Structure 1
């Protein structure tokens, strides 16, 4: 039985999350973020503080995206209208975080190319590409979430 509150949330619930846009982007964010996490963990970044930031952002975004996806599947957004605002701010902050990761990984890869000869160079290049793809996914999701938030209020 559906209640009026069930239809109030512009964020879909259940398996509709896996077929609706922009929630479908969460799967791509999950995949690209996981790849960045794996590639950064298996490569060597020339500066230890850079590696720490890269790992923090990739693990943080991976975990929070997973939690949001599970919450959407369960239907928590039906009970709380604040989740729309959380969705907007999370995806905006994640886009900024991943942009910083992509730029940092680019500069580290460039440093490695110029000054160091290393077999792990290809892992850094792949991490850079996937960081830019994750940035793109989070940015698109943030923009669409902002539009959904503005149209629902």
Structure 2
């Protein structure tokens, strides 16, 4: 059951999370973030540190998005008004992280393509990382608007 929303919490709770914008974008963030995670894990990247960063970003964002989604469903954000600020900060950071992943993956995919190899997994990972970046950026923009109108 959904918890009653406090007047200082513009973030919905309960099943309203599935029906409100931008929280509904979290479903796309799950899907495309999970796809990036799977594709990066199965791709060939010549620099181990680069693959480590790509894996860190995809796993970190997937886990934090999952935790936020569950916490919003439970209604924890109704206990404090700082959740809107945290939501904004997280989605800005996630969008920046995924942008770095998308650019790095696209750069290495270009390197492979020029070298004569065509890595379809890397191309798909790059495309899905750009989609995840777009979703996180849209979520961040609408979270900022919600934060500004609520304060």
TM-score normalised by structure 1 residue count: 0.93
Query: Which deviates more from structure 2 when the two are superposed, residues 124-133 or residues 45-54?
Result: 45-54
- Aligned positions of 1:24-63 closer than 5 A: 24-63=24-63
- Post-superposition Cα deviations, 1:25-61, rounded to whole Å, max 9, x if no partner, equal 0110011000000000011112111101100000000
* Structure 2 residue matching 1:6: 3-state secondary structure: coil
Whether the 8 Å CA contact 2:3–2:13 is kept in 1: the answer is no
- Post-superposition Cα deviations, 1:89-108, rounded to whole Å, max 9, x if no partner, equal 00000000000000000001
Whether the 8 Å CA contact 2:33–2:61 is kept in 1: the answer is yes
**For residues 4 and 75 of structure 1, do their structure 2 counterparts lie closer, same or farther at Cα, with a shift above 3 Å needed?**
closer
Whether the 8 Å CA contact 1:99–1:132 is kept in 2: the answer is yes
Whether the 8 Å CA contact 2:10–2:150 is kept in 1: the answer is yes
**For residues 97 and 48 of structure 1, do their structure 2 counterparts lie closer, same or farther at Cα, with a shift above 3 Å needed?**
same
Residue equivalent to 1:98: 98
Instruction: Flag as ranges the 4+ runs of structure 1 deviating above 4 A.
Output: 2-5
Residue equivalent to 1:145: 143
Where does the alignment leave 5 or more consecutive residues of structure 2 unmatched?
A: none
Where does the alignment leave 5 or more consecutive residues of structure 1 unmatched?
A: none
Residue equivalent to 1:20: 20
Q: How many residues align?
A: 150
- Post-superposition Cα deviations, 1:57-112, rounded to whole Å, max 9, x if no partner, equal 00000000000000000000110111111000000000000000000000010111
* Structure 2 residue matching 1:138: 3-state secondary structure: helix
Query: Which deviates more from structure 2 when the two are superposed, residues 43-52 or residues 60-69?
Result: 43-52
- Aligned positions of 1:67-86 closer than 5 A: 67-86=67-86
